């Protein structure tokens, strides 16, 4: 009897997990469902109702439409920030990998800290700060730098002048 009860609980957990993994319905699903209605009058009424709901949700800010170009811009601008990834929601064409491993910036300003670390302010406003205090002679204002992903979620910045890379973290 315990075996049957254990199996029933196990199957219940598995079915709950399967339900939890079902992808959520997209906000446009009701609009797409209207296409399956045969009657012209009923289909039009369905479209009017569904589009009205989408319009209302968009006006209220519950739905935000983002095209692929905007998503790519957002993905590049958020590089280095420790945010939950919304980019997994956007499928990539032809199975292309959706990871951004590096980004190139122009250094607009270098701020020195009392503890020997430096903050690099990029032309787009991003700020990257050294994790360890070290000299930054190989990076100057106006230089282009590349920030790349490194081990264990860290980032390395290297300038075009060569020299050693600097372990950095994004601060804004």
Name the nearest CA neighbour of 85 among 93, 73, 75, 77. 75
User: Which pLDDT does position 100 carry in this prediction?
Assistant: 76
Is 92 part of any domain? no
Q: Is the pLDDT assigned to residue 8 strictly greater than 60?
A: no
User: Which pLDDT does position 3 carry in this prediction?
Assistant: 46
- Domain membership of residue 47 as a residue range: 2-59
pLDDT tier for residue 92 given thresholds of 50, 70 and 90:
low
Is 33 part of any domain? yes
Is 140 part of any domain? yes
Q: Is the pLDDT assigned to residue 146 strictly greater than 80?
A: yes
Is 77 part of any domain? no
The token duo for 155 is 């980032």
Q: Which residues contact 169 (CB under 8 A, 6 or more apart)?
A: 80, 128, 129, 131, 154, 155
Q: Is the pLDDT assigned to residue 4 strictly greater than 50?
A: no
Is 73 part of any domain? no
Question: What is the total count of domains within the chain?
Answer: 2
The token duo for 105 is 């910036």
pLDDT tier for residue 13 given thresholds of 50, 70 and 90:
very low
Residues 106, 166, single domain; the answer is: yes
Is 67 part of any domain? no
Per-residue model confidence as pLDDT tens digits over 100-145: 788 899 999 999 999 999 999 999 999 999 999 988 889 999 999 9
Is 71 part of any domain? no
Q: Is 120 helix (H, G, I), strand (E, B) or coil?
A: strand
Is 75 part of any domain? no
Q: Which of 5-14, 62-71, 124-133 bottoms out in mean pLDDT, i.e. has the lowest? A: 5-14
Per-residue model confidence as pLDDT tens digits over 15-58: 444 444 555 577 888 889 999 999 999 999 999 999 999 899 88
């Amino acid at each position: 009897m315990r075996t049957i009860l254990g199996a029933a609980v196990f199957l219940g957990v598995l079915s709950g997990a399967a339900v939890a993994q079902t992808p959520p319905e997209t906000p446009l699903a009701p609009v797409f469902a209207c296409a399956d209605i045969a009657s012209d009058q009923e289909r039009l009424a369905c479209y009017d109702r569904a589009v009205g709901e989408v319009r209302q949700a968009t006006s209220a800010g519950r739905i935000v439409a983002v095209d692929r170009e905007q998503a790519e811009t957002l993905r590049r601008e958020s590089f280095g920030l420790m945010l939950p990834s919304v980019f997994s929601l956007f499928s990539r064409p032809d199975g292309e990998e959706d990871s951004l491993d590096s980004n190139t910036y122009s250094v607009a300003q270098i701020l020195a800290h009392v503890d020997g670390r430096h903050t690099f302010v990029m032309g787009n406003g991003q700020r990257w700060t050294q994790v360890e205090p070290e000299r930054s002679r190989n990076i100057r204002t106006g230089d282009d730098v590349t920030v790349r992903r490194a081990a264990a979620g860290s980032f390395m910045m290297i300038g075009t002048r060569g020299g050693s890379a600097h372990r950095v973290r994004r601060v804004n």
